[in-house]
Amino acid sequence: MKYALVTGGSRGIGRAICCKLSSMGYYILINYQSNENEAMATLEKVRQLGSDGELLKFNVADSAEVKQVLDQWNAGHSGEYIEVLVNNAGIRKDNLMIWMPEGDWHNVVNTGLDGFFFVTQSLLKNMLIRKYGRIINIVSLSGIKGMPGQVNYSAAKGGIIAATKALSQEVARKNVTVNAVAPGFISTDMTHDLNESELKKVVPMGRFGKAEEVADLVGFLASEQAAYITGEVISINGGL
């Protein structure tokens, strides 16, 4: 049995990634924080694709919660380990910095950056012992070029990009790869409040991307065919 954990796997890009990895033969651990109905809907799609999985409820930004749930999972799966981790969990609280509440800064940065640290650190030891692992971090165009109104989100994603490059060098000798995928405008629940008809005019391809297109890229990076790719940030943004 091959195991993959997708944080924030209940909807949008996370759901598409769960489905893609399940089609590659992985048993999917679907992390969610609050919306159990959507997480169950993802699990049903995974099962319809001929695979299986389970739900893991925890807040990625809560170190004690992450440790408790993942330690419990490890204790119940002696001799097995999670070989693919997709750090997808993230939230947006957009505002100009001058008006940004302190709580919105901390919530966005803690979910993105702290969540990456807590979950990755919990799974990394077993990957190094087994000398095989795939860590794929979902970042954003915002973390590469910055976006007005997203100082918090850009900071979180930019931090993960830097951490991706550093961690990849620490673990490469153990056959563990660490890469980041940076989507541009993708049609999901997270972007439903954006003016798609206007924003797609600045995209050379003239459209928003699909969650499934991001998932296909993640699936490749999770595969053995991507064994010599590490420390990279791959953009998927229609030419922006």
pLDDT digits (tens, 9 = 90+) for 49-76: 999 999 999 999 999 999 999 999 999 9
The CA distance from 48 to 174, in Å, is 35
Amino acid 208: pLDDT: 87
Predicted local distance difference test score (pLDDT) of residue 192: 66
Catalytic residue list: 153
Whether 191 shows a pLDDT value over 70: the answer reads no
Neighbours of 170 (CB within 10 A): 12
Q: Whole-angstrom Cα distance, residue 27 to residue 46? A: 9
Residue 12: the pLDDT is 93
The pLDDT value given to residue 198: 79
Question: In the structure encoding, which two tokens stand for residue 24, read together?
Answer: 């590659």
In this prediction, residues 11-17 reach a mean pLDDT of: 95
| Proportion of the chain above pLDDT 70, given as a percent | 96
pLDDT band at 194 (very low <50, low <70, confident <90, very high): low
Structural domains of the chain ordered from first start: 2-236 (3.40.50.720)
The pLDDT of residue 91 is: 92
pLDDT tens for 31-54 read 999 999 999 999 999 999 999 999
Question: For 114-161, how does the pLDDT look when each residue is reduced to its tens digit (9 = 90+)?
Answer: 999 999 999 999 999 999 999 999 999 999 999 899 999 999 999 999
Residue 84: both structure tokens together: 């693919």
Q: What is the pLDDT of residues 197-222, one digit of tens each?
A: 778 888 899 888 899 999 999 999 99
CA distances from 132 to 10, 26, 89, 227 (A): 26, 15, 23, 10
